[in-house]
A = this chain, B = another copy of it.
Amino acid sequence: MKAQIIIIGDELLNGSIQDKNISPLAKWLDQIGFACDQVTITKDREDLLLPVLKEAWDKSDLVITTGGLGPTEDDITKQILAKLIGTTLAPSDKAQQLVEKLYSRRDKLWNPELNHYHLIPKGVEVFDNPKGFAPGLMIKKDKRLLLATPGVPRELMAMLEETLPDIIKESFPNMDNGPKVITFRTHGIPEEKIFGELCPGLWQELSHYGKVSSLPQVIGVDIHILLKPEFRKDYQKTKETIVNLVQTKALKDYIWSNEFITLEEAVIKKASEKNLKIGCSESCTGGLVAHKITNVSGSSRVFMGSLVTYSNESKKDLLRVSEEVLKTKGAVSEETALEMVQGTKEKLKVDVALSLTGIAGPLGGSKEKPVGTVCIGEAFGNSSESKQYQFFGDRALLKERFAQTALLKALKIIEKL
């Protein structure tokens, strides 16, 4: 079954906002069994949107649009959908009832003068928007389905969870929605070396099972195998076979997970299993490590906190880093990272502590310690140590690299404990 996504909105095409809908929508389609071959982002202008919609609607089993359902004059999706199926907008009792319900959920009264949520293309069905006011629209024709959803990410996410699964089940009762991708997450080896030097022939071996793709990430490379249909049937067995195959190769030393999970999820999972308390202190990453960890629901069971000591004063006051070390070695040094992590372990009373101090740039670098330098400390039991690294990238990427490198260290420690 083929699906296409159409993302509507000027703001995405002048860079004023970054899209947040494509990735969860694509993931959802993949999970429920649709192959999404194409995504188009287009302005809310009839001359652009209508041809894109027509082509997608002709070629796909399922078309999902996001955006343009709001109350202001730049929201024209409903009008264009009406043109697509050769009708016009008209008041709909069903839509009005739904809108009144959506408003009453928030203890508000719907006022038809402020918006036209009750006007929809004649004959089109509406469906629930669990977190917003604009209903979704649904067009069915010859076993094909078009769903118009809101562009606000929280509204779309709620629809993906609460509203759309039943609609899809009803329209496409025989979908194949089992897992079909196997992923290896690696670190510490560049893409071209994996298949060219470390494991020549592995790409071909894996291709027996499905389409292989290789994807550079922030601190390593992901390898995905999209299984052929005959290998999807017994997914667990196929996975075991492929994991065993890869275990015989030199690549095994570079793999940190056989699952498509994040480092922070892996850290929280392992720490929870072993009932270990963890904590950190951060200078250059400015809270990013803690933010990542606390994005994982359930992290509060094992994560005690992070001391974001962005100034020398706070390193001294909160972590007892010595004036002496800061003066002679500098805030970005293995010595400071070591004192930070020792202070962290003590203050937060944790089993495993991390510390990070570095230069994320663009300012603050020197010849001896250029932008991208980071010192990471780790402490567990009675041992503590620290190490300096050098990375490339802009401020945002460096923060990300520093944070992921520290999380990988935490994972390795926890796995051994």
Contacts and interface: CB of A to CB of B under 8 A. Distances in A.
Interface stretch (A36-44, A84-92, A407-415): A36-44
Given A38-B48, A288-B291, A23 B18 contact: yes
Interface string A170-213: 00000000000101000000011101110000010000000111
Contacts of A392: 131, 154
Copies in the complex: 2
Interface of A: 9-20, 22-30, 36-43, 45, 48, 52, 70-74, 111, 113-115, 131, 133, 152-154, 157, 181, 183, 191-193, 195-197, 203, 211-217, 222, 224, 226, 260, 279, 282, 284-291, 293-295, 297-300, 303-311, 313-314, 317-318, 347-349, 360-364, 392-397, 399
A349 B313 contact: yes
A184 to B, nearest CB: 12
Given A9-B215, A38-B42, A287-B306, 14 more contacts: A16-B215, A17-B23, A133-B192, A152-B216, A154-B393, A154-B397, A282-B287, A285-B294, A286-B294, A287-B288, A291-B399, A294-B399, A303-B310, A305-B318
A161 to B, nearest CB: 9
A332 to B, nearest CB: 12
A339 to B, nearest CB: 16
A328 B67 CA distance: 46
Contacts of A303: 286, 310-311
Contacts of A42: 37-39
Contacts of A113: 196
Contact of A287 (B43, B224, B308, B348): B308
A45 to B, nearest CB: 8
A340 to B, nearest CB: 12
A300 B306 contact: no
A300 B40 CA distance: 40
Contact of A203 (B36, B73, B215): B73
A218 B192 CA distance: 41
Contact of A313 (B40, B133, B304): B304
B311 A11 contact: no
